[in-house]
Chain A
C-alpha cells in the first residue's frame, strides 16, 4: 500500500569537512525523527565512514537511512550517490579513495573529520583531504554508481559552488542522472526555466545539512510503498504509482 514519506536525501555528518562537530550520525537520525522524516540519506564528502553508525543508530526507529556519499568529480561537480547497502557504499568509498586528490586534512581549516559510532563515541579521525576532488569524471562516477545499483543525483544544481550547471555551463545531454537536486535556497521553476532540456530529470529537494538544525529544513515528499532505495527509484521514474508529491 502506498504511503507518503518525507525524505531528506542529502545530509552530512561531522565527518564532512565543514560539518558541525555536533552533527554525529546519531544526532542526524534523531533530528530527522524530530522533524517527522521517514527517510534520510547520509552523504558525507567523499567518504562513507559514518554511514554504518547512522544505520545502527536508526535501527528499530521511525527513520530509515540510505547509505550515500557526496562525491566531487574531476570537473568539481558534486554528485550525491545513494547506494542500496552499506557494502555498496563502502565499495563506492573505495573507488573514491583510490582517485581522491592526495594530501592530508588540515583540521584547522576543514575540521577534525571525526569517525563517530552510534553511541556518539569518536573512533578515529579521517586524515584524507575530503574537501578535495577525485580524478573521476562526472560521467565515470554516474556509471560507477549505476554499476553498484545506486542512484546518482546532481547536488544543488541551483548553486554556483560545485553545482553542475555552474561548473559545466549546462546539463550534459548524455549524462544519465537519476535526478537533479535543487537546494533550499533555490527555486525549481527558475532552474527549469533557465535550463531547457532539464525536464527529463526529476527534481528532488534536500537540506544539504551540515549542522543539526538544518536537517530536514528541505525535503522531498514521496509516494512510495516502503522507505527503500528501490522505491525511491520508482518514485523518480513514476513507476507503479510511485512519485514525487508536489508541495
Chain B
C-alpha cells in the first residue's frame, strides 16, 4: 500500500513531503521513544507517534521511514514541519488515538515486521 493510499483511506492530513507520497509503506511502527525508533524501526515503515518536536524528522530520515503520523489530534510544531519540508519527509496527522488508527491499519493488512 502506498502512503498516498493510506492518507486517502484513513483521512490523514498532510503537512509536508507532498512529493514523496507515492512511496510503498512496508509496515508500521508505534513508539514515542526516539531511541527505540532508532534501534527497532525498519526502513519503509510508517511511524505512528504523539511526539511533535522536530527531532522526529531527523530520526525518520536516519531510519528511512516513509513518513510520520502524529496522532491524537496533536499538531506538529512549526519547526518540525519546516524541517520535514527541507528533508522531504511526509508528516501527517490524525485525530484518532494511536490504538484506533493502528487497529484500522492492521485490519487493512499492514503489519509491524515486514
CA distance A161 to B54 in the complex (A): 9
Please give, as numbers and ranges, the residues of chain A lying within 8 Å of B62 by CB-CB distance: 106, 109
- How close is B27's CB to chain A, nearest CB, in angstroms? 21
Q: Considering only CB atoms, which chain B residue lies closest to A17 in the complex?
A: B58
From known contacts A101-B39, A160-B52, infer whether A133 and B34 are also in contact, taking CB-CB under 8 Å. yes
User: By the criterion CB–CB under 8 Å, are A101 and B38 in contact?
Assistant: yes
Please give, as numbers and ranges, the residues of chain A lying within 8 Å of B51 by CB-CB distance: 161
Which residues of B come within 8 Å of A, CB atoms? 33-35, 38-39, 51-53, 55, 58, 61-62
Residue A76 CB within 8 A of the other chain: yes
User: By the criterion CB–CB under 8 Å, are A129 and B38 in contact?
Assistant: yes
Main secondary structure of the interface of B (DSSP, over half): helix
- How close is A48's CB to chain B, nearest CB, in angstroms? 20
Please give, as numbers and ranges, the residues of chain B lying within 8 Å of A160 by CB-CB distance: 52-53
Q: Considering only CB atoms, which chain A residue lies closest to B56 in the complex?
A: A161
Contact with B along A183-208 (1 / 0, CB 8 A): 00000000000000000000000000
Please give, as numbers and ranges, the residues of chain B lying within 8 Å of A109 by CB-CB distance: 58, 61-62
Please give, as numbers and ranges, the residues of chain B lying within 8 Å of A106 by CB-CB distance: 62
Contact with B along A100-136 (1 / 0, CB 8 A): 0101001001100000000000000000010111000
Residue A72 CB within 8 A of the other chain: yes
From known contacts A160-B52, A161-B53, infer whether A132 and B35 are also in contact, taking CB-CB under 8 Å. yes
Contact with B along A135-171 (1 / 0, CB 8 A): 0000000000000000000000000110000000000
User: By the criterion CB–CB under 8 Å, are A101 and B35 in contact?
Assistant: yes
Q: Considering only CB atoms, which chain A residue lies closest to B34 in the complex?
A: A76
Q: Considering only CB atoms, which chain A residue lies closest to B53 in the complex?
A: A161
CA distance A129 to B53 in the complex (A): 19
CA distance A109 to B51 in the complex (A): 18
User: Considering the complex of A and B, which 8 residue pairs feature the smallest CB-CB distances, nearest first?
Assistant: A133-B35, A161-B53, A109-B58, A101-B35, A76-B33, A132-B35, A109-B61, A106-B62
User: By the criterion CB–CB under 8 Å, are A161 and B55 in contact?
Assistant: yes
Please give, as numbers and ranges, the residues of chain A lying within 8 Å of B58 by CB-CB distance: 109-110, 131
